[in-house]
Structure 1
Amino acid sequence: MKRPLLNSVTGKITTGYYAIMGPSGSGKSTLLNTLALRLDRNMSVSGELKLNGQDYSNAELKKISGYVMQDDLLNAHLTVEETLGYTAELRMPRTTTVEERRARVKEVMEQVGLTHVSAVIVGSPLRKGISGGERKRLCVAMELLTKPLLLFLDEPTSGLDSVTALSLCKLLKRLATGRTCTVVCTIHQ
C-alpha cells in the first residue's frame, strides 16, 4: 500500500545556509533524503527535483555534494588525522598525489578547528577520545575533503550541548557565507 510521506512540497535552494526545521517526526529527514537522493529502495518520488534547473541523477549529485548523517560511523581506534587521511584516499580523485591529499587534510582540519586534536584517537564509549562536538566536526571535515558545492546534514546538532551546537552552526554558516558550499540541514532545536 502506497502512502505519501511528503505532499505538495515546493521550494528553492540558492547559495547559502538553509535549515529545514520542524518537530520530531514531521518529515525533515525524509525531505533531506529526497533532495539528496538517498531514499530507501521501497520509496518512490513523484514530481520534479532539479539542480541548476536540470533533472539530476544520484551519480551527478554525488560528484558535487557531501552528506553528514545524524549518527556518525567512525573507527574508534584511528586518530583524527588518520581518519581524514583514509577518507581522502578513498574519496579524492586517483590523480591526487599523496602530498596533495596530506595538504588537503591539514587544510580541512584547520577549516573545522580540529588541528589541536589531530593526533587524538576518535574513541568510543569504552575508550576516551575526542568530544561529541569534535566528532561531528570530523564528520563535516570528511565530507569537505572533496570540496563539495552542496553539503547536506541530518540533525547536525543532535546530542550536542547548546554551546557546542552553536559552535557547529557558526562553522556551517561560515562555510556557506564564505562561498565554500551551500549548506542544507535538518534541525529541531
Structure 2
Amino acid sequence: MTLLLGPPSSGKSTFMRALTGKLDKALKVSGSITYCGHTFEEFYPERTSAYVSQYDLHNAEMTVRETLDFSRRCLGVGARYDMLAELAAREREAGIKPDPEIDAYMKATAVQGQESNIVTDLTLKVRFRLFCQLYATL
C-alpha cells in the first residue's frame, strides 16, 4: 500500500488515475506509463493496482473482515485465510459482532481450500454490477 501526499490541486488524483488506467480516454496526454517495463497494452492495471477515490463507496453494513473478504473474492486474489482469521480474532477482542446473516452466509459458502462456488460467484457478480452502476453515477 502506498500513501500519496501533496498540497491541494497538485495533481495527486490525476496521477493516481493515470497509474491505474482510469483517465478519460478523450483526455489528450503525452508521455507513457510503464509497469516493470510493460505498457498498458501489455498488462491490465485493474489487476495490479487500485484507486480509491475521495468518495466513500464502502458498504456500511459490512465489517472490516466482510469487506476484505468481499474484495478478495471479487478480485480473485486467492485465499488469505491467516489474515481473515486474525481480523476475526481482533473483532472478537474489540467486541465487534458481524451481521449474523452475512456471517452465516459467508461461513456456509466458504470452504477452506476452496476459492469459490457457484452461489458465491453469482452473488458477487450481482453485487459487483450493482456497485459498478452506483460508481458510474458519481
Report the counterpart of residue 15 of structure 2 in structure 1: 31
Asked which structure has the greater CA Rg, the reply is 2
Q: What is the 5 A alignment of 1:20-169? A: 21-57=5-41, 60-92=44-76, 100=79, 103=81, 106=84, 109=87, 115-116=90-91, 119=97
Greater helix share, structure number: 2
Distance in 2 separating the partners of 1:17 and 1:83: 20
Q: For the aligned residues, what is the CA RMSD? A: 3.4
User: Are residues 40 and 91 of structure 1, via their aligned partners in 2, closer, same or farther at CA, if it must alter by over 3 Å?
Assistant: same
Amino acid at match of 1:76: A
Contact 1:33 1:39 in 2 (8 A): yes
User: Are residues 31 and 86 of structure 1, via their aligned partners in 2, closer, same or farther at CA, if it must alter by over 3 Å?
Assistant: closer
Identity %: 29
User: Are residues 70 and 58 of structure 1, via their aligned partners in 2, closer, same or farther at CA, if it must alter by over 3 Å?
Assistant: farther
**Structure 2: gaps spanning 5 or more residues:** 100-138
**CA apart distance, 1:18:** 6.4
Greater strand share, structure number: 1
User: Are residues 34 and 58 of structure 1, via their aligned partners in 2, closer, same or farther at CA, if it must alter by over 3 Å?
Assistant: farther
User: Are residues 35 and 89 of structure 1, via their aligned partners in 2, closer, same or farther at CA, if it must alter by over 3 Å?
Assistant: closer
Count of aligned pairs: 96
Distance in 2 separating the partners of 1:27 and 1:58: 26
Contact 2:19 2:33 in 1 (8 A): yes
Distance in 2 separating the partners of 1:92 and 1:81: 16
Contact 1:80 1:119 in 2 (8 A): no
Contact 1:37 1:58 in 2 (8 A): no
**Deviation by residue 1:22-81 (Cα, 9 ceiling, x = unmatched):** 321122211221122111243232211111122124952222223332232111222222
Contact 2:21 2:46 in 1 (8 A): no
Distance in 2 separating the partners of 1:79 and 1:89: 15
User: Are residues 53 and 60 of structure 1, via their aligned partners in 2, closer, same or farther at CA, if it must alter by over 3 Å?
Assistant: same
